[in-house]
Amino acid sequence: MNNTYVRAIGAVFMIFLLSGCLYPESELSKNQVPNKLQLKTVQSAVDTYSEKTQGLVPIKTAEKDTPIFRKYLIDFSALKQKGILAEIPGTAYENGGIYQYALLTPEQNPRVKLIDLRVSDALREVGVKLQIYRNEYLYPPFGQPITNNLYKIDYKKLGFEHEPYVVSPYSQKNLPIIMDTDGNLYVDYRADLYEALKKYDHQYKTGDDIRYILAENTPFLPVYSYPYTVKNGEPVYMSPKE
């Protein structure tokens, strides 16, 4: 087998790997759509686990500096070991799905929520190209400034033909990806927050972290989000506290 043929086979393999085609389970419809029954089942299992363990919750160990909405991932193995949960949900990452199950406010009122891994994948694609760029040029490719600390991305310098975006798990709208002065990437959730502030009853005031309006009222956590507060009824950026 000549080297050209070997390289061709390798290239095809990489395309399949990167596109996820080697994981057909992730394409099953049961693994794509968040199921209310599955959420209720996991919530019931978490509640039962907490009752049996004097208030503990089944979460994986995370680094102390893990951002709050990605910090409390559910440990399905702990639920199965205690015989509380017979089967991992089909939508869960651990079972070939596109969601991670996590807890919101685990210390006081643990509620089961979802992390849409397609958000993570979109940021990872930009992050890989950003790292390659910084290996050569050191500084991130800052685009138009948004605030003193936030910028749009000069996506052309990263080799993108169009501005990169994330499909919102809340509205299915295309949300921009932005960057801070250190080159950290965030999803700009302002459009979703603006709609949520109008849709849901709340008592938020300037200085409050309003991202919780999305986490509290929907199945999804606003992962990779910059902190926001409210001013004159609209979402605005504030200093990061994650």
pLDDT digits (tens, 9 = 90+) for 93-138: 999 999 999 999 999 999 999 999 999 999 999 999 999 999 999 9
Tokens coding 188: 């700009």
Quick: pLDDT tens for 167-179: 999 999 999 999 9
Residue 223 pLDDT = 98
* Element containing residue 94 per DSSP (H, E): none
Report which secondary-structure segment, H or E, holds 115. strand 111-116
β-pairing, 150-153 with 165-167? Answer: unpaired
Q: What is the pTM of this model?
A: 0.84
Is the per-residue pLDDT at 20 higher than 70?
Answer: no
110 token code pair = 């643990």
* Domain boundary assignment for the chain: 25-109, 118-237
Say yes or no to pLDDT of 90 above 60: yes
